[in-house]
Chain A
């Protein structure tokens, strides 16, 4: 590869760094570990730049590398079984004693129009950040890294049931947060 091309790629890599950092921090919940993972991604990308044939976007390619780096980090971290809260007691305010909603979920309208709006993703970002660290980690492993629960259990040494409960808590937390801060706020505007 010509030197000038390599320089272009280095520049493009730098521009993607904040985007990658955002995900690494959400996933690892540790600034230093996140920086390490992103740095390793950058190096791997530079070394493998000739393999990047432009068939996918550079971002997608980098995300693919970052995923592997994050899984490596999680593996190193998860030497000890992690403590997760496995009850759904904190949903007691969401449900009556007989299991009915205290506040029924609203109709969020057409998904397509929601997903078209950039602002929605900013609110989603804040809601992810507001989740408890361990809950967010499992949720990001499932939805962002795309691991199945079997793999997550193995990496974090959790039981499958435990994993499903944590994912349930994450989804519940996110939907409550989004309804309050996005859909509720949208409805109030009309």
Chain B
């Protein structure tokens, strides 16, 4: 895989980061992409929120 990711590839990798450990090349690729792409940076935060939301959805604070 080339280090230069487009947004579609970056989002796919960001999603997979929630499910498996990324390789070094993938992490470097993501880091480079997120540094210059605010849209994917937003997406990256959204994926994290989604996981937190699902945890709270399962175990609501009464």
Residues of chain A touching chain B, judged by Cβ–Cβ distance below 8 Å, are 23, 57, 59-60, 63, 88, 91, 95, 98-101, 104-108, 111, 114-115, 120-121, 124-125, 142-144, 148-149, 160, 163-164, 167-168, 171-172, 174-175, 178-179
Contacts and interface: CB of A to CB of B under 8 A. Distances in A.
B57 A167 contact: no
Nearest to B16: A164
B39 A175 contact: no
A108 B62 contact: no
A168 B49 CA distance: 15
A57 B62 contact: yes
27 contacts: A59-B59, A59-B62, A60-B59, A88-B8, A100-B7, A105-B42, A105-B43, A108-B49, A111-B45, A111-B48, A114-B49, A114-B53, A115-B53, A124-B53, A124-B57, A143-B50, A143-B54, A143-B55, A144-B57, A148-B19, A149-B19, A164-B20, A168-B12, A168-B15, A168-B16, A171-B47, A178-B50
B39 A101 contact: yes
Interface in B10-62: 11-12, 15-16, 18-20, 38-40, 42-43, 45-60, 62
Interface of B: 6-9, 11-12, 15-16, 18-20, 38-40, 42-43, 45-60, 62
For the residues of A in contact with B, the DSSP-based class is: helix
Contact of A172 (B11, B48, B54, B56): B11
Closest 7 CB pairs of A and B: A99-B6, A104-B39, A143-B54, A99-B8, A168-B15, A105-B42, A95-B8
A115 B9 contact: no
A142 B7 contact: no
A175 B6 contact: no
A104 to B, nearest CB: 4
Given A121-B57, A171-B15, A175-B43, A100 B6 contact: yes
A115 B54 CA distance: 10
Nearest to A161: B16
B52 A105 contact: no
Residue among A63, A91, A111 with the highest chain B CB neighbour number at 10 A = A111
Contact of A88 (B7, B12, B62): B12
